[in-house]
Amino acid sequence: MRKILTLGLAIVLTLTVVTPAFAQSSTVHVVQPGENLFRIGLRYGVTVDALVRANALGNANYVWVGQRLIIPLGNASDPGSPSSRIHVVRRGENLYRIALKYGLSYHTLAAANGIVNPNHVYVGQRLRIPGGGSSPAPEPPSPSPTGGRWIDIDLSAQRLTAYVGGTAVNSTTVSTGLPSTPTPTGDYRIYVKYTADSMSGPGYYLPNVPYVMYFYRGYSIHGTYWHSNFGRPMSHGCVNLPTPEARWLFNWASVGTLVRIHY
């Protein structure tokens, strides 16, 4: 007798859930009194357009206190990949110079960031540096200003010094960014000042931060009432000063004052 072998076929249904591209690389911000999309974007280094798209907002000029906003933080297609890095475009840079710094062709860099016109990048734009690029070559130090008021922030020493030309007029220990939230290096200018401002981010909300001077996007120099561990990194990227020192610096520096940050 011939045995007949019957093969049963199991049908497996796979359900694919499609989530928004930003869901894998985002955080949530709760809108606080006095905030708008522009100021929220400054704090997180994202554009108003990116916030509008991430939250499907119909009116970019309208948010309400308590509203929960999704903050897209990076390239969700490759979140946190160790083979890629982020470069923030600075004044005077173009795609060719940035690519050269990392040992890449500008065609490769443009393709990695979906840039159609390689002649157009803007200050503050976040570019993904694909794997295979080398570490950036160190840039020569900028010469010290020979006149006028300027602020030097030494991240290695955790010290801020106010200068007039080459003469130091005040100096204090500070707390700058932690390794996971570093303070940006380079030359910047104070672009707005507030005697008090509320600050928030992932896991924190600080109302009425005193003597705030923004120098780059959401990064600022300001007074500090929530810790006194000056001389060691403590912040989310801002430069924390003792409040009396922040008051003195706020009254001394004006909008446009040079801020030089280095190791």
The residue type found at 214 is: Y
Q: Which is nearest to 28 in space by CA: 164, 204, 254, 244?
A: 204
The residue type found at 198 is: S
pLDDT of 7: 38
DSSP of 196-254: EEEEEETTEEEEEEEEEEEEETTEEEEEESS---TTS--BSSSEEEEHHHHHHHHHH--
Q: How far apart are CA 247 and CA 80, in angstroms?
A: 39
Average pLDDT over the chain, rounded to whole? 78
> Residue 17 — pLDDT band, cuts 50, 70, 90?
very low
Most confident of 56-65, 94-103, 114-123, 221-230: 221-230
Q: In the chain, what are the domain boundaries?
A: 21-72, 85-129, 149-262
Query: What are the tokens at 191?
Result: 């672009």
Instruction: Name every residue whose Cβ is closer than 8 Å to that of residue 11 and which is 6 or more positions away in sequence.
Output: none
pTM, entire model: 0.52
State which fold the 85-129 domain adopts.
Membrane-bound Lytic Murein Transglycosylase D; Chain A (3.10.350)
Kindly state the average pLDDT of the residues 111-125: 76
**Inter-residue contact 231 to 175 (CB < 8 Å):** yes
Q: How far apart are CA 159 and CA 36, in angstroms?
A: 32
Domain range 149-262, CATH class: mainly beta
Query: What are the tokens at 59?
Result: 């009116």
Return the minimum-mean-pLDDT range out of 12-26, 212-226, 232-246.
12-26
Per-residue pLDDT reduced to its tens digit, 160-201:
999 999 899 999 999 999 888 889 988 999 999 999 999 887
Instruction: Let me know if the fold of 85-129 is the same as that of 149-262.
Output: no
State which fold the 21-72 domain adopts.
Membrane-bound Lytic Murein Transglycosylase D; Chain A (3.10.350)
